[in-house]
């Protein structure tokens, strides 16, 4: 009932006619058919933003890595696995995107030569093995360099010096806004249902204090909508 | 109703008074606080065997990696994350174990120096990076070398030459039985609710044709129970 009340208070029409594309969840980078590299992203924050943007009247596309979450109603969901898949799906969505929100925890690196067969343990010598990793494409930076460029919002999950790294990212990648959170805090982030973030744009910033991811998502959508309209 | 009928037909008392420890699911090996190496094991086969062993009258301990499955009723579940955690929990359980069934897809390797802080992307040179991996302890081999030794059943998930690798494993690790499945088949294994396996012991073998994991688990428990009693 409280959730319903909050939903009713939420300004429903602020994104009517706006096309929002959101990336969410982790990516998985194959080592071989059995093993992969991934990360602890649950996708909850991105899915909550998809619901909030939809409730604000936007037409929402959700490009999702492997997560255990139901598809939000009236949201177009595109499932991907690797960072390269997510890059391709994102580039493909850009011709129909006014606002791009990159919440996904995209793997920075993939395995250089992933194997078609399961790698066998070597029963010799030191028992050590090396994996060579190469950089994945930077999706949100590529989106921000695209022409025409959508209003581009990045996320920065950091464990130290959070705001400083976030401001560096906004400049280096040419973002319009970045949402920074400190994943070293155990009460928030990743698999939690709560979050606390700092929203940063070139000329200012605003903290969003500890709240449910649904509430943070609504506040974020309100902020993004205001800055998007100012930028047009 | 059919499931209930099958359950009723299952010989309930064949493992009464027997203590069964089962490992299940994947392990996760930390790269840093955000990233990890894991594998596609869902844990479904191990959980199905836990239920079948319980229904056969056994006292069941389930040592589980991170999975999205409810704890079976009347089963003692111990949650672990890494292969080293699973090794410690397994060794700890041995004093109260008559039969040890290692279904978990344990990571063969862990990261040599996992980082306490999120690794930053290097913005220089080639963009490549290497991860040094070191071998994890071999849990099922350690169990089979333990004194007193429980009746020890391993699993072999392979993508090629499945039976040959399984027979090599049974010898090298000193197992009493191994359950081999071909994870390159897309209709079975890992996240599927069905499976088809070949059960191999030093003097023989028996295929269990494509069936639900619950049915495969019941057939396996019946086979394991018969060989366990013969070995005592």
DSSP characters over B89-153: HHHHHGGG-SEEEE--B--SEEETT--SSPPPPP-STT-EEEEEEEEPP-HHHHHHHSSSPPEEE
State whether ipTM is beyond 0.90: no
Q: Is B68 labeled as catalytic in the residue annotation?
A: no
- Token digits of residue B133: 């991996």
Residue A153 CA to residue A135 CA, distance in Å, equals 21
- Is the pLDDT higher at B41 or at A86? A86
The predicted model scores a pTM of 0.84
Q: Taking CA atoms, what residue in A is nearest to B133?
A: A129
| Interface probe, candidates B28, B33, B34, B184, chain A, greatest A C-beta count within 10 A | B34
Tell how strand B19-24 and strand B99-102 pair up: parallel
**B39, B109, B118 member nearest A158 (Cβ):** B118
pLDDT at A123: 47
- Token digits of residue A159: 């464990």
Contacting residues of A for B106, CB less than 8 Å apart: none
pLDDT of A122 > 60? The answer is no
Which of the four pLDDT bands, split at 50, 70 and 90, describes residue B10? Answer: low
**B31, B34, B130 member nearest A157 (Cβ):** B34
Residue B65 CA to residue B189 CA, distance in Å, equals 17
Residue A2 CA to residue A215 CA, distance in Å, equals 11
Neighbours of B78 (CB within 10 A): 16
Q: C-alpha A29: how far from its chain's center?
A: 17
**A134, A157, A184 member nearest B128 (Cβ):** A134
The CA angle B218-B219-B222, to the nearest 5 degrees, is 85
Question: Is the CB of B35 less than 8 angstroms away from the CB of A107?
Answer: yes
Question: Is the CB of B133 less than 8 angstroms away from the CB of A129?
Answer: yes
pLDDT at B158: 75
Residue A29 CA to residue A110 CA, distance in Å, equals 5
**Which residues, 6 or more positions from B51, have their beta carbon under 8 angstroms from its beta carbon?**
B72, B75, B214, B217
């Amino acid at each position: 009932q409280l959730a319903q009340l909050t939903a009713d208070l939420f300004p429903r029409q602020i994104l009517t006619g706006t096309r929002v594309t959101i990336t969410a969840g982790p990516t998985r980078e194959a080592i071989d058919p059995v093993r992969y590299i991934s990360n602890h992203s649950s996708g909850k924050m991105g899915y909550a933003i998809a619901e909030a943007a939809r409730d604000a009247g936007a037409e929402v596309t959700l490009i999702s890595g492997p997560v255990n979450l139901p598809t939000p109603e009236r949201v177009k969901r595109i499932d991907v696995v690797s960072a390269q898949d997510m890059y391709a799906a994102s580039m493909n969505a850009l011709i129909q995107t006014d606002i791009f929100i990159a919440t996904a925890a995209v793997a920075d690196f993939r395995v250089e030569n992933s194997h078609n067969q399961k790698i066998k343990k070597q029963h010799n010598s030191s028992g050590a093995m090396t994996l060579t990793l190469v950089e994945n494409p930077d999706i949100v930076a590529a989106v921000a360099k695209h022409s025409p460029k959508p209003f581009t919002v990045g996320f920065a999950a950091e464990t130290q010096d959070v705001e400083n790294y976030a401001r560096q990212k906004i400049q280096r990648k040419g973002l319009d806004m970045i949402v920074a959170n400190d994943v070293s805090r155990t009460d928030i982030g990743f698999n939690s249902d709560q979050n606390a973030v700092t929203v940063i744009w070139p000329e200012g910033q605003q903290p969003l204090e500890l709240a449910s991811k649904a509430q943070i998502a609504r506040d974020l959508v309100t902020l993004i909508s205001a800055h998007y309209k100012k930028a047009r």
